[in-house]
Structure formats: structure tokens, C-alpha cells
Amino acid sequence: MDEAAFMPEDVIASVIYPMLATTNGTAIMLSTPWGRDHIYYRSFKNPNYWSQHVKAQQCPRITTQFLEEQCRDIGELRYRMEYEAEFVEDQNSFLKQDLIRECTEDYYLISEDQMKTEDKIPGNYYLGADFGKKVDHSVVALLKQETDETYRLVLLKQFELGTPYTDIVAFIQRLNQKLDIIKGYVDQGAVGESLVEEIKQFAAQINGLNFTPKIKQDLMILLQTRMEQKRLILPLDRALLSQINEQQYRFGKTKPTERPQEKGTMTFYHPPGTHDDQLWALALAMYAAKEKETEPQLRILT
């Protein structure tokens, strides 16, 4: 079982293991660490099982220079998981690894080849776009409505640093022609009203949203709630899952300059050397799919 830490525990315990009951067979689990409330972690810690912990430094084909570069590029927390095979998670992570795994399935996203065909791709879709600047990527995310209550992430397009906004707008226009986008939100604070108005000329259902502290808190709480409700399905994409898990929060001190409605609001941030552009594009798409219902109450997972 490869990437065993991401497999549903019921599949391992209720399907794989019973098949070995009458054959005296062997189960081998291989994975990068992810979460502790799972049979993979318990098996790794079980003294009755044979286990091996192999760090990247032990592989003679991996250079020290490469590892140092990776540590700088992906951040210490993710580096310790990916290259030192440690079960680690920041205590201030807003969305925990065990919660994320419960929303993860192994499937393919919409490909570039599908986008090139003339046929329209069926379904109802919700769009989120986070526009980057010099050090941040621009990302477009699409959720497909699976049922009345469930949404699947089917497209996640990350653009190269420095990609002109006009290219990203053109990509959104192609999506709008190819898919039935019911509603969408883009990060207006990064690009201003003029670019949002340009998008609305060909997609009136896509609106701008300014990332105020209160809005960011609402987006994260909504995303957390949908994941708890098992209404969001995510692909087994390590970069995306890491960005979701790395997002941290704190309750900042009240400042005299704060607006009354923002006092006591959580501040969200990501560790140095990491990114969160894919996360915010996903959160905007989830916000676009939000039904008219009672605002979810804040629940911090520990």
C-alpha cells in the first residue's frame, strides 16, 4: 500500500487485512508521514511490527546541496515530513492533517487536453482565483458540484511567477466558455476593481472580494466547516494538502486602528518559505458555492 497514510483506514482494516486472514499473507505499508489518528501511524509505532524509518540524508543519490535548497524552498515543517519522514504538525495549524485526509481521494483533475476539445464539459462549477504578485503565484481553482451538498476540486491551475494578469484573465475566459460556471470570486485586493470589471464583461457571475481580516476568517471557517461535514473532496496533491495544513492562525491584539467589526478577528499566515495561494483559491471557490444558510460557528480543531 503506497501512500498508506492517505488511504481511508476502513479500506486497510476492513478490506486489505481480512484478505490476509486465511493466507498468512503480508501487508506492507509505505508512506510519507501524515497525521497520527490513523492505522499507519499506530502500525509504525507498534513494537510487534517491523518498521523502517529512512531519511533522505541516508540516500547516497541525494546531495546535501539539494536538501538544503529544498529546506529553504518548501519550509522547515514540510521538509521534516517529506525528507526526514517525521510525524510533525504545527500546533497552530488551522486545518489539521487528520481532517484533511478524511477529505482526500485519489483521482485525476481536468487536463489541458480536455480544455482543448470543442465539446463543453458537463456539470455545475464554482470558481476561485487568487492573484499573486512578485513572490506569490496566481492560482485558479474550480469546484464541481457532485450532489446538492458535495463539491469536488476538479481543476487547480498554478501560474508561473510573473505571469501577466491578462493571461490569467484569458484563462478564466476559456474556462467560462468551456464550463458552466455558476458563480465565482477573485481576490480583488491584489488586482483592483478594473481587472474585476474586465472579467465581469464576459462572466457577470464572477465577483471581486477584498481580503480583509474578517473576510479571510469567514473563508477559513467556511472551509473548515465543509471539510468537517465531508462536503469537500480533494485530490491527493501533496503541494495542495501541505498548503492547507501549513496555514496557521493567531488571535492578534486589538489595535486602535482596527474597525469595530474586526476586533478579535483571527490573523492567518503561512510559515516562511511556504505559499498559500492554492489554499486561498480553493477557499474562494468554496465561498462561491456557499448556500444561503446560517453562518457557521467558529470551531478550532485541536
Question: Are 157 and 258 part of one and the same domain?
Answer: yes
Taking a C-beta distance cutoff of 8 angstroms, is the pair 45, 39 a contact? no
Place of cell 483592483: 192
Cα–Cα distance, 252 to 248 (Å, whole number): 12
- Residue 254: pLDDT band with limits 50, 70, 90: very low
CATH at residue 114: 3.30.420.240
Closest CA to 102 of 228, 15, 3: 228
The answer to whether residue 294 sits within a structural domain is no
The answer to whether residue 268 sits within a structural domain is yes
Cα–Cα distance, 127 to 130 (Å, whole number): 10
Letter for the amino acid at 186?
Answer: V
- Is pLDDT of 260 > 50? no
The answer to whether residue 122 sits within a structural domain is yes
Cα–Cα distance, 112 to 75 (Å, whole number): 30
C-alpha cell of 271? 510559515
- Is pLDDT of 10 > 50? yes
Taking a C-beta distance cutoff of 8 angstroms, is the pair 220, 268 a contact? yes
C-alpha cell of 180? 458552466
Residues 6+ apart with CB under 8 A from 164: none
Question: Are 167 and 115 part of one and the same domain?
Answer: yes
Q: Which of 49, 82, 115 corresponds to the end of one domain?
A: 82
Place of cell 481576490: 187
Up-side HSE of residue 265: CA atoms within 13 Å toward CB?
20
Q: Which residues pair with 17 in a beta bridge?
A: none
Closest CA to 151 of 240, 231, 237: 231
- Residue 253: pLDDT band with limits 50, 70, 90: low
Q: What is the mean pLDDT of residues 214-226?
A: 95
Question: Are 173 and 126 part of one and the same domain?
Answer: yes
The answer to whether residue 69 sits within a structural domain is yes
Q: Which pLDDT tens digit goes with each residue over 11-57?
A: 999 999 999 988 888 999 999 999 888 999 999 999 999 999 999 99
* pLDDT attached to residue 42: 92
| CA triple 185-190-194, angle to 5 deg | 75
DSSP 16: I
Residues 6+ apart with CB under 8 A from 184: 126, 127, 128, 129, 172, 203, 205, 206, 207, 284, 285, 288
What is the extent of the structural domain holding 238? 97-288
3-class SS at 228?
Answer: helix
What stretches of 19-169 adopt beta strand conformation (E)?
A: 104-105, 124-130, 139-145, 151-158
Question: Are 71 and 125 part of one and the same domain?
Answer: no
Question: Are 47 and 9 part of one and the same domain?
Answer: yes
Q: Which of 158-162, 189-193, 211-215 is least confident? A: 189-193
Question: Are 224 and 103 part of one and the same domain?
Answer: yes
Give the chain's end-to-end CA distance (angstroms, integer): 28
Taking a C-beta distance cutoff of 8 angstroms, is the pair 285, 128 a contact? yes
Question: Are 74 and 111 part of one and the same domain?
Answer: no
Query: Mean pLDDT of all residues in the chain?
Result: 88
Question: Are 260 and 228 part of one and the same domain?
Answer: yes
